[in-house]
Each structure stands twice: as C-alpha cells, then as structure tokens.
Amino acid sequence: MKADSAPRQKVLPKARLQSQRLADQAYALLRAQILNGELPPGHALSVPKLSRLLGVSRSPVREAVLQLVADGLAQEEAHKGAVVAHFGLEDALQILEAREALELASVQLGVRRATTRDLEELQRILQAQAETVQNGDLEGYQATDLQFHKMLGSLSYNPVLERMVGLLKDQFHLALEPAARSLGQLERGFQEHQEVLKALEARSAPQAARALQKHFERIRESLESWLAARG
C-alpha cells in the first residue's frame, strides 16, 4: 500500500442523486405556488397528498417541505404538521428591517463588483416592470419586484449574503400579500427602483444607499399606515 495514495472519492448512489433532483423540483414548484398565492398561508402541506398530486414518492416531497420550513416559507403547527407560513404585518415590518440592512450591504458592495451584464439585466427587469405599471398589472409588478431585489442581492457576489437576501425577500413577499392590493403604489416603487439603478450605474455607493433607504422608508410608511387603518 502506498503511503501517499489519495483516498478514493465517495460516489453517491444514482438513486440518491435522482431523489435529490426530484426534491429540488418539488421544492421549486411548491415555492412558486406559495409565492403566487396558489398555496395560501395556513394551507396544509400534507406529504402523502402532495406526493400523489406531484406523482412522485413521499421522500423527495418530505425533503422539499422540510426545506420550505427551513427557509421560513412554511412552519410546523401542532396537530397539523407543516403549513404555508402566515405572517402578521408586524412580522413584515421586522422582516423589512432585516432586508434593508442586508440589501444595503449588498448594493454597496455591488457598486464596486457589479458587471456591465448585471446592470443590463437590472435594466431589462425594469423595462418589463414599466409595462406592468402602465397596465396596472399588480401580479406582474410583484414578479418583477422579486426579480429586481433578487438581482440586487446577487450584486455582492457573496453567496451567503445573496441567500439571506433571497430568503427574506420571499418571506416578505408572503407576509405582504394581504396588504398588496391595498398598498398599490406601483408607479412610486418603479421610480424608486430606477433611482437605485442610476446610482449603481454611476458607481456611487452613497447615492445607491440613499436611493435604497428611501425605497424601504416608503414601504415601511405604507405598511404602518395600512396597519393603522386596520386598527
């Protein structure tokens, strides 16, 4: 036996790799249905039922549901098991506060690290968002809003920061859903997004920070007003 021989790399069984891919697909589908409202807050995520609906075994569905719980899009409830997470507006304000801190860090790093292609992609997203504003398409606006803020989270080129921003954005989207139609203000949100992009294109960290803070401040004030109106 050679003393310097390298240890053999462990090869995962093919069945395990296939199961993992199924779990990823199930997760992606369930996440999309949660965020677009097809699976509303409080909806039971029954593994046996979901496995039948998706036409796959229970194991990958169970993994997908556990990941949704880990990501804050589902929660475990006594006597019910996993259900789609339901947030109060107070929860949304707390999530927003954390999001603001993390997105500010990402954007300030992005001023230096964002590529020309990154900025072009942000511009493409805002062009699509302009159409949703013109058409009063709230659902389309929310989709482009998710894309825009997800892209902001990636500008740091820090995978840990990017994942945290993405998770909080998803949670906030779910928490905000009950108030979304009341808040509206698509035009203001679009204009604020444009200001953030202009600052990034100018490579100005202070300008980018001010623009993003203004955006979050407006959202926070809108949420607080909505809460007050509901008593």
Domain spans, the chain: 14-84, 89-229
Quote the pLDDT of residue 14. 53
The answer on pLDDT for 173 being more than 90 is: no
Is the domain spanning 14-84 CATH 1.10.10.10? The answer is: yes
Cα gap 166→180, rounded to integer Å = 19
Do domains 14-84 and 89-229 share one topology? The answer is no
C-beta of residue 59 within 8 angstroms of C-beta of residue 96: no
Higher pLDDT, 12 or 132: 132
Cα gap 216→225, rounded to integer Å = 14
pLDDT digits 0-9 by tens, 22-76: 899 999 999 999 988 899 999 999 999 999 999 999 999 999 999 999 999 999 9
Closest by CA to 222, choosing from 187, 185, 194, is 185
pTM for this structure? 0.77
C-beta of residue 18 within 8 angstroms of C-beta of residue 63: no
pLDDT digits 0-9 by tens, 200-229: 999 999 999 999 999 999 888 888 877 777
The answer on pLDDT for 152 being more than 90 is: yes
The answer on pLDDT for 137 being more than 50 is: yes
Which range is most confident: 40-44, 119-123, 159-163? Answer: 119-123
Query: pLDDT confidence of 149, banded at 50, 70, 90?
Result: very high
The answer on pLDDT for 6 being more than 70 is: no
User: What value does the mean pLDDT of the chain take?
Assistant: 87
The answer on pLDDT for 184 being more than 70 is: no
Concatenated DSSP letters of the chain: --TTPPPPPPPPPHHHHHHHHHHHHHHHHHHHHHHTTSS-TT-B--HHHHHHHHTS-HHHHHHHHHHHHHTTSEEEETTTEEEE----HHHHHHHHHHHHHHHHHHHHHHHHH--HHHHHHHHHHHHHHHHHHHHT-HHHHHHHHHHHHHHHHHTT--HHHHHHHHHHHHHHHHHHHHHHHHH--HHHHHHHHHHHHHHHHTT-HHHHHHHHHHHHHHHHHHHHHHHHHT-
- CATH homologous superfamily for 89-229? GntR ligand-binding domain-like (1.20.120.530)
C-beta of residue 129 within 8 angstroms of C-beta of residue 148: yes
